[in-house]
Structure 1
Amino acid sequence: MPIISKLESKFGRFAIPGLVQIIAGFQLLVLFMVMVMSPEGAAAYLQFLELNPNRLMHGEVWRLFTHVFIPGNFSLIWALIGAMFMMWIGRGLESAWGAFRVNLYVLGWMFAVTVGALVFHWPASGMFLFQTLLFAFATLFPNEEIYIYFILPVKMKWVAALSAGMTAFIVIGNPALLLPVLLAHLNFFVAFGPGFISERARMAQVASRRGKFESAKPPEGTFFHQCSVCKKTELDDAQLDFRVLDSGDEICSVCRAKQTGG
């Protein structure tokens, strides 16, 4: 996108390398803090980090950023696996996009969910940041494989499809979440929507041209040359050579040779 390229040329030096890995690291740190605290202290700590619109309007601006550090899962094993997976995805995206575009993608998500929280009081779950990163990685590297339980290879496109299906199931159970979920994936739609639309348009043009070509082809069994003597056509023998007589009729090379005694 030309606009993104111009922004990158001007502000690319301000990008934070490894931003996704940093977020994953802070999520593990928050998990550790929650585990060593009492239940009351942990609840107060998470409330201190969450994106609370009322507290934000009272000057607690750190909430614009700290809500991203709240882990989506508080099980140690799953949180570790999720953080490692998130770091791996972050490295892949940065290798494909560069640090600036990854930063823009993450900041775009933060902006969208912040607007939703402030204006509509929608939830700003950090889980959807991970999901949008997963969708971006699966779009760029659909055939990249991961090994479930270090045994079963699964391509990223199927992992993303399963994740999307689970989210769709949640939305079906609670339709009120539809708009918040769409807003939380707005960065993905903005990043990949134009390319997806242009690709579908290109495929439609190709299909249209192929249809016109197929319709322009002569029906099966159609011939262009027929010998006026033996009535054979090029479909009967591809080796036949046809010549036009002075009368306008065609004659094949075999009949012509017979007539000339050749």
Structure 2
Amino acid sequence: MNFLNKMERKLGKYAIQNLTFWLIGAWVLGFIIQYTMPEVQRMLILEPALILQGQVWRIVSWLLVPPPVNLLFLIFFLSCYYFIGNSIEQAIGTFRYNVYLIGGILCSILGAFLLFGFYYFFRGVAVTGIGYYFSTQYITMSLFMAFAVIYPNVEFRLYFLIPIKAKWMGIVDAVWMAFMLIASNAAGRTAILASLMNFLIFFFSTRNYHRVSPKEIHRKQVYRQQMRQAQSVTRHKCAICGRTERDGADLEFRFCSKCDGNYEYCQDHLFTHQHMKQS
């Protein structure tokens, strides 16, 4: 977080305002291409083997490939993620939101090339088809999981009827991705981990680890011990019979103004005691 603070002071003026709008715009264009020119969409996916052959536009154009969404829910999907992205930006700031979203995109690109390099250098195969695993679907899920962490109690209407809080939907997404991580092949696992790396960094870097440090744990233990000792100390004690407030909740104690010194007496001895004089 200190590193981000320094980077924000230096580069914060270059942060893109309302970055979600441009991401949603790219998806809208991608949906148009998908339903009007499906053959063109194959030229947009993130394919490291073809990028190294000169098709460098694929480094960026894969963002035009939208997540798999039913056309009937398209408007709801786009408006929902526009709300999610803007809410995250308002919560963490424009610069940090840029780092989060662009960081997830860069991690996906890096993961695709690392996977290609592994197959090429260790198995001698220039694998193609990697780009079908690296899609914007996991980018959207990382956005929603960040939203669920920041706004856990915001309610969504599932199927426009069932109210469900964001934190429960985030847990469902996490369980589903864990299942996909186990069930997928190497390419699928790399794609999931790479696209969620920004969320993992964000989640663990924003936790308050001070409360689980050994020094803080020791301080809490000392505090609880002192509180227990304080509870065992009585506030009132009769100078004659020695009774305290523990001997009865209805007991009353008063100081005697005629005694020399701070002598306190219970209600039974306040008027019957012998006054204490220093002489």
Looking at structure 2, the residues matched to 109 and 7 of structure 1 have their Cα atoms a distance apart, in angstroms, of: 18
**Equivalence for 1:257:** 271
Tell me the amino acid that sits aligned with residue 158 of structure 2.
I
> Shift of the alpha carbon at 1:16?
2.7
**Equivalence for 1:66:** 61
RMSD, matched Cα: 3.1
Deviation digits for residues 68-97 of structure 1, max 9, x if unmatched? 221121521234332221111122122223
Identity of aligned residues (%): 26
The 3-state SS of whatever aligns with 1:218 is helix
Deviation digits for residues 19-70 of structure 1, max 9, x if unmatched? 2222222212222222124xxxx2x322211110111112222211111221
The 1:220–1:94 alpha-carbon spacing in structure 2 relative to 1, beyond 3 Å, is: closer
The 3-state SS of whatever aligns with 1:185 is helix
The structure 2 residue matched to 1:153, chosen from 149, 160, 163, is: 163
Residue 33 of structure 2 contacts residue 41 of structure 2 at CA under 8 Å; is this kept in 1? no
Deviation digits for residues 92-151 of structure 1, max 9, x if unmatched? 122223433222222211211111101113632211111111122222222222222333
Residue 24 of structure 1 contacts residue 69 of structure 1 at CA under 8 Å; is this kept in 2? no
**Equivalence for 1:100:** 95
> Shift of the alpha carbon at 1:178?
4.3
Deviates more, 1:63-72 or 1:217-226: 217-226
Residue 50 of structure 1 contacts residue 67 of structure 1 at CA under 8 Å; is this kept in 2? yes
Q: TM-score normalized by structure 2?
A: 0.75
Residue 71 of structure 1 contacts residue 79 of structure 1 at CA under 8 Å; is this kept in 2? no
**Equivalence for 2:200:** 189
1:90-129 equivalences under 5 Å are 90-121=85-116, 123-129=133-139
**Equivalence for 1:246:** none
Looking at structure 1, the residues matched to 8 and 230 of structure 2 have their Cα atoms a distance apart, in angstroms, of: 55
> Shift of the alpha carbon at 1:200?
4.1
**Equivalence for 2:77:** 82
Where do 5+ consecutive residues of structure 2 fail to align? 117-129, 257-262
The 3-state SS of whatever aligns with 1:154 is strand
Tell me the amino acid that sits aligned with residue 140 of structure 1.
I
**Equivalence for 2:140:** 130
The structure 1 residue matched to 2:211, chosen from 202, 209, 212, is: 202
The 3-state SS of whatever aligns with 2:163 is strand
**Equivalence for 1:55:** 50
> Shift of the alpha carbon at 1:223?
4.9
Deviates more, 1:61-70 or 1:229-238: 229-238
Looking at structure 2, the residues matched to 98 and 223 of structure 1 have their Cα atoms a distance apart, in angstroms, of: 52
Looking at structure 1, the residues matched to 255 and 212 of structure 2 have their Cα atoms a distance apart, in angstroms, of: 41
The 3-state SS of whatever aligns with 1:235 is helix
Tell me the amino acid that sits aligned with residue 127 of structure 1.
Q
User: Number of aligned pairs?
Assistant: 249
Tell me the amino acid that sits aligned with residue 4 of structure 1.
L
Looking at structure 2, the residues matched to 145 and 257 of structure 1 have their Cα atoms a distance apart, in angstroms, of: 66
The 1:146–1:207 alpha-carbon spacing in structure 2 relative to 1, beyond 3 Å, is: farther
Residue 239 of structure 2 contacts residue 264 of structure 2 at CA under 8 Å; is this kept in 1? yes
Bigger proportion of residues as helix: 1
